[in-house]
Amino acid sequence: MAKSYHLIGSYTCPWVQRAVIAMRAKEVPFEVTYVDLRDKPDWLLEISPHGKVPVLKVDDEVLFESNAIAEYLDETVPPRLHPEDPIKRARNRAWTDFVPGFSSALGKVIYAKSKEEAEEGRAAASRALSLLEEALAKERGNDGPYFNGDTLSLVDAGYAPFLQRFGIAEAVLRTGLLDGFPLVRAWSDALMQNGYVINSTAPNFAQEYESNLQRRETYLWSLIEANRAAAQ
């Protein structure tokens, strides 16, 4: 009997998006419920030990944390998104462990509260991007377009949400950060054109993400507002 999958997430959470990409890549039928994390329902707190999303209900069992969810899906639902070779699989897992550090580095630019703070964040973002550039050059040994080659992997699913958010910011901030990292740029472009990634966000993602930038009083939001005012 086929298992039922019910994902609980929030509208803008990149970790939820990571799980959605993995499930769509495996063509798993699933339901998704989005909640407002600023007003968490009691039932979420009852099933999520950390009060966070994503949470995946598999029949009557509950899983939490995006990496654990992705690994569970890869072990139980074909096709495998990790490499079959044990060494390559371990190295892929190591690069998924770098996702939090990568997201934090990009966040210093995306969520900066001033132009000066965004410029200061460039150094951290550049260091993180240089590590990925080197990984893409050494790890796959081919022209991609994804992390391992021509097939989407769990590494791709992990980084895509953060590269997407950086792309949104870059369209406004115009930092030129990716100019020095052509492999990362090509990888990001390929991910943003992938159907699983395109269809991995909530229908109201753009509106909710802008609201998030506004609530956090980011420099990026001030530029978005200024650009809109100038266009009127």
Kindly list the catalytic residues.
13
Are 181 and 170 a contacting pair, CB within 8 Å? no
Burial of 119 (0-12, 13-18, 19+ CB in 10 A): middle
Q: Kindly give the pairing relationship between strand 55-58 and strand 5-10.
A: antiparallel
Are 173 and 121 a contacting pair, CB within 8 Å? no
Q: Is 3 helix (H, G, I), strand (E, B) or coil?
A: coil
Q: What is the CA radius of gyration of the chain?
A: 18
Q: How far is CA 21 from CA 1, 123, 161, 190, in A?
A: 24, 29, 9, 14
Tracing tokens 């115009």 back to the chain, one arrives at: 174
Q: Is 147 helix (H, G, I), strand (E, B) or coil?
A: coil
Tracing tokens 């909640």 back to the chain, one arrives at: 35
